[in-house]
Structure 1
């Protein structure tokens, strides 16, 4: 090839890491009060290609017009919500053109974009704003703002923040637990809820009414406004014995701030509230408090908004775990999402007048997972984002009227969703997706997805990569930009995405099979379905590897200590020594509920380090608070000193450690995602594809040296 020869265009974006990280990513959905405007957000690379920025796009609900971009700024926009007035609200740290030149680095403010005008700021706070909620029938808006604990109001908060900045103080004084969450420190500030009316900000910014005081009760809270805007319903975290935390449900008057408890069950947590359009009811998701012997039971709850009567459970005999609920416009039922058999359909839960009878029916026929459900005001249709391992999230329309008219409740057939023009069309895939399953030794059905590269056949079988999901209460049922099998498929691998015991969407008993015994049924399920897939003539059973992240990383470590059937194992953000992990994870109380010390001892991968005879790639981020960096550091040291494949006397080793000083449980920065995939592919190439020793590293980015 000469210098004048144009480079070949990769057949798909998955063949080129630069092309992959540049793909647009759709998230979120909101519908205006008339049902004629549908807005989503799209993440794209910034010009430096080192971070993502988000813009808002409008999607035509009829599917006739292409999507059009609404916002554009270097800081991006998020949290889009339509107000009852039809105006679009969003948060952004973009500079306010009305602010003075000495405004400094702006925090996220609340902006209002009218249908035919320019966006303007309507609410600010010293620490920024978020958590935007709007009332359906009133111009009331609620939002969150982080406030320092000793500040009585936002003005005092501004003074205290300036003092900390001027003195260069970043210390945090804690009086309780927890002190961090997933990927960020908690404090020194904490969210408080505020409210205001849009009618009061016609010529300026809102005078925010503070609804809640100092405390950590709103950490990671989910909330909803009543249709008339008079009541805010939010999760409210309370302390339990043993430094534990538990979510309750409260109602707060948006004028006075008066608070009353709606749900406080010492044996369960309440979350994801949704207020009925008639203003009478609150639906919510309830999850029982676990014990070492009992897995959680997740159900849909219902409680009167006025606090009368006791909370009740809806469809208690429905053996699925609801993930969210959206009311029908006439308050006669709810659209509920739940994992099911490697998918995440939408179900219709219909209530009779006195709620004595509840019918649950699957509405969507697609082999996909739905999220962000919003219902048209007339109830004829609903809109959602649809994703699967065949395509990333994209907006769709579902004809609810056609489903309802197709028969009597309990006998209706699911309907297919209709794709709407997406602002980020699905990329072509480098292979095909198929379902696989087998039967475990105890008779349980174990299924998964298998992504096969183009050309895989008996004449050219593909090497197999077993990819174990995290969670562990999770399922391989929706597209992931972080755990994407198609990048491996583009390099010729067949990628197996199995759902072993503990996976959601297969019923309570399937979760219970693995509860408190991670090394038992989850492991044997993984091996059973791997055995089954290896019998296929388009899969090469002699060239295999395994990998996983988080709980999947735990399983990768467990696999490494219990079999040498794989040529290589990749373990990301993994649990290694359970006695060490338990007290140091960000939510230690949850772990204490889940496993006794004896269970942890029996199922800790580090106990089997001497049996590891497989090359391992360890990946960990220093800012990982869910699985702290100590797990990765100890695993690395013990691999080199105690494993059945230790480092040589000169210090050389077949194992590798990919360390990210500024990433967390996930690797989110696009340049680091490229390094992650390149590093994994290089390691697999050397050990699975028989690339000569050391040469696999030549595919790593030059920035690694």
Structure 2
């Protein structure tokens, strides 16, 4: 099975032309789009577009208006030096967003919290309408009422924003950073939790900007929905009803022995009442979305996993009046990722991973039937349904193109996709995308994307790079700026992006095959699809490498200890000793559900270090709390002291360690991401292509 996308640009003489992927500086400078929001009347569409700052050390996002009809070019709306985010339209058509900008109190952009800004629908300059000590983020607006829902953070002992500001200043002036905990968790990804906590606040908006005078935060008076939430609203997903009368939110509930679950909470704004909307069922609940008339909340549940049973994610409908719960599409064997209501309330649009794609599906509430709407090889996010239900706007991406805004027809020629005029065009690719499929030893089909360099043929076969995705519950189905195969393709590699057991989009059984047995089906699936790739005449089976990050790094470590077929292995932010990882990661309770002592013992890569004969590049950031730095440090020492690669008289080895003291799980800053690719490409060139060891002066002490 083969599909081709993104044929390389040529000059008519079959000579490959330069693309942004041939130069790291050009690649880093490519604009990146994210976030999409539609005005209530459906006439205005706004997208965020990030670009490098003047020093090339950070990305700044500006808001751009895109023509929903697709005829007019995109227009830039904001130009703040530190960028803008969180766009949301009011019911009157004004555009709200958050940005850290200098204010009348003398705060500079470097120390000012993100404030709430308003760009009037009638035109003019943006004005600051709210500023809180803990910043403002996560904007949600009622579709038919002047109501704003937002998130901020406050210190636990603060009773209002004034006391919160004084407490924050005192901590800063006294250089106090200590945090006293009484529960779990204490960290999340790359952030220390506490001493402040997230709060949900709500405000009444003026319907017309002319009703507001001045420039200070007195414009809006926020009401705190839950004055003492603790960490219950950490990473909360929430929604406000169209009339602004109700708020539904996920709510973290602490349980015994460091565990936690997520319930759904309902707030009635007029009465101030708070009640549990849905809880229990041996599941966590989240992603609430009010129906257009406010009588129902669509949501998802994730069952609590065990060492032997993978989680199951389902869609539900909750009756707000009596809190009865109805499971939807019970026979649909896919995991919903996002949902949007149709304006008439008859159904939901849902995105879900599906066979290496993430299409839009329609769930009809009357029949419970699920129909696929889009049929291309793409992934869709940020669904925004037109008020008349005729179309849905979304961001579409694939491994052939980064995220860009599109319109998808819902009536008539249902499923027809039209790209809109975006702030930046899609970049030319240095090769073409195809697909590889085979069967694993147990008979299950296994597939993956294969990005091929221009000019690869049976006469000049390309070396192969196996790139293993993280998660492990995920899929290679959408463009990634951080994990981008085209930079490797531009260097001449064929890059294989497979979905082995545990990957989403192939049904519950496919996930279950690898659950609690990471070194089993996921490993053999990877080898099977690699065999299928190297059977191609345009791939050189004698020059291969493997790499991965997070769980992909775990698999890279497992591969290193179980086969010598690869010439080099790159392992980023990887799990090494599972008995060590489990209690030290930021969410130990979650991993403990699968990682029983028996599972950890049977599937931990560190037990096989003595069999490793392949040069390995180990990469880790010290601010990685999901896979703590101890994993990388222990892996590095045990490679040096226990693997089979020789050590010279100076204690040097062919293994390498790339360490980032101030980076997190992904290595996000542009300058460090560039170094990441330089080192990886250099390491692969040395061991796969037989080139000399690279020298990078900027990395030397």
Please, which of 331, 334, 338 is the counterpart of residue 320 of structure 1?
A: 334
Aligned to 1:577: 577
Task: Give the alignment of 1:303-314 within 5 angstroms.
Answer: 303-306=318-321, 308-314=322-328
Distance 1:99 1:421 in 2: 40
Aligned to 1:382: 392
Report the Cα offset of residue 227 of structure 1: 0.5
- Other structure's SS at 2:446 match: strand
Aligned to 2:307: 292
Task: Give the alignment of 1:171-570 within 5 angstroms.
Answer: 171-199=178-206, 202-203=212-213, 204-214=218-228, 215-306=230-321, 308-352=322-366, 357-403=367-413, 415-570=415-570
CA deviations 1:262-306 (Å, max 9, x no partner) are 110151111111101011110011110100000011111110123
- Other structure's SS at 1:402 match: coil
Report the Cα offset of residue 649 of structure 1: 3.8
Please, which of 50, 55, 64 is the counterpart of residue 57 of structure 1?
A: 64
Task: Give the alignment of 1:33-52 within 5 angstroms.
Answer: 33-52=40-59
Distance 1:383 1:199 in 2: 28
Distance 1:221 1:442 in 2: 40
Distance 1:195 1:420 in 2: 34
Aligned to 1:162: 169
Report the Cα offset of residue 105 of structure 1: 3.1
Distance 1:392 1:103 in 2: 30
Aligned to 2:116: 110
Distance 1:170 1:253 in 2: 37
Aligned to 1:21: 28
TM-score w.r.t. length of structure 2? 0.95
Conservation of the 8 A alpha-carbon contact between 2:130 and 2:220 = yes
Cα pair distance change 1:103/1:572, threshold 3 Å? closer
Conservation of the 8 A alpha-carbon contact between 1:678 and 1:701 = no
- Other structure's SS at 2:88 match: strand
Conservation of the 8 A alpha-carbon contact between 1:618 and 1:632 = yes
Conservation of the 8 A alpha-carbon contact between 2:100 and 2:109 = no
Report the Cα offset of residue 309 of structure 1: 4.1
Distance 1:565 1:105 in 2: 52
Q: Cα RMSD between the aligned structures?
A: 1.6
Aligned to 1:3: none
Distance 1:508 1:701 in 2: 49
Conservation of the 8 A alpha-carbon contact between 1:210 and 1:257 = no
Cα pair distance change 1:102/1:617, threshold 3 Å? closer
Conservation of the 8 A alpha-carbon contact between 2:202 and 2:223 = yes
Conservation of the 8 A alpha-carbon contact between 2:146 and 2:205 = yes
Report the Cα offset of residue 310 of structure 1: 2.0
Report the Cα offset of residue 117 of structure 1: 1.8
Report the Cα offset of residue 84 of structure 1: 0.5
Distance 1:103 1:295 in 2: 46
Report the Cα offset of residue 210 of structure 1: 1.1
- Other structure's SS at 1:47 match: coil
- Other structure's SS at 1:91 match: strand
User: Structure 1: which 5+ residue stretches go unaligned?
Assistant: 1-8, 405-414
- Other structure's SS at 2:257 match: coil
Distance 1:403 1:358 in 2: 22
CA deviations 1:238-257 (Å, max 9, x no partner) are 01222111111011123453
Distance 1:281 1:403 in 2: 29
Conservation of the 8 A alpha-carbon contact between 2:20 and 2:427 = yes
Task: Kindly indicate whether residue 608 of structure 2 is the aligned counterpart of residue 608 of structure 1.
Answer: yes
The more displaced of 12-21 and 167-176 is 167-176
How many correspondences in the alignment? 678
The more displaced of 58-67 and 644-653 is 644-653
User: Structure 2: which 5+ residue stretches go unaligned?
Assistant: 1-15
Report the Cα offset of residue 17 of structure 1: 0.3
Report the Cα offset of residue 104 of structure 1: 8.8
Distance 1:102 1:389 in 2: 40
Cα pair distance change 1:400/1:567, threshold 3 Å? same
The more displaced of 130-139 and 259-268 is 259-268
Task: Give the alignment of 1:688-699 within 5 angstroms.
Answer: 688-692=688-692, 694=693, 697-698=694-695
Conservation of the 8 A alpha-carbon contact between 2:151 and 2:198 = yes
- Other structure's SS at 1:318 match: coil
Distance 1:180 1:41 in 2: 29
TM-score w.r.t. length of structure 1? 0.94
Aligned to 2:95: 88
CA deviations 1:203-238 (Å, max 9, x no partner) are 352111111122100000000000010111000000
Aligned to 1:410: none
- Other structure's SS at 2:339 match: strand
Report the Cα offset of residue 166 of structure 1: 1.6
Distance 1:372 1:95 in 2: 30
Report the Cα offset of residue 701 of structure 1: 6.1
Report the Cα offset of residue 686 of structure 1: 0.3
Instruction: Give the number of the structure with larger relative contact order, counting CA–CA contacts within 8 Å between residues 6 or more apart.
Output: 2
- Other structure's SS at 2:324 match: coil
Distance 1:249 1:549 in 2: 33
Runs of 4 or more consecutive aligned structure 1 residues displaced over 4 Å after TM superposition: 98-104
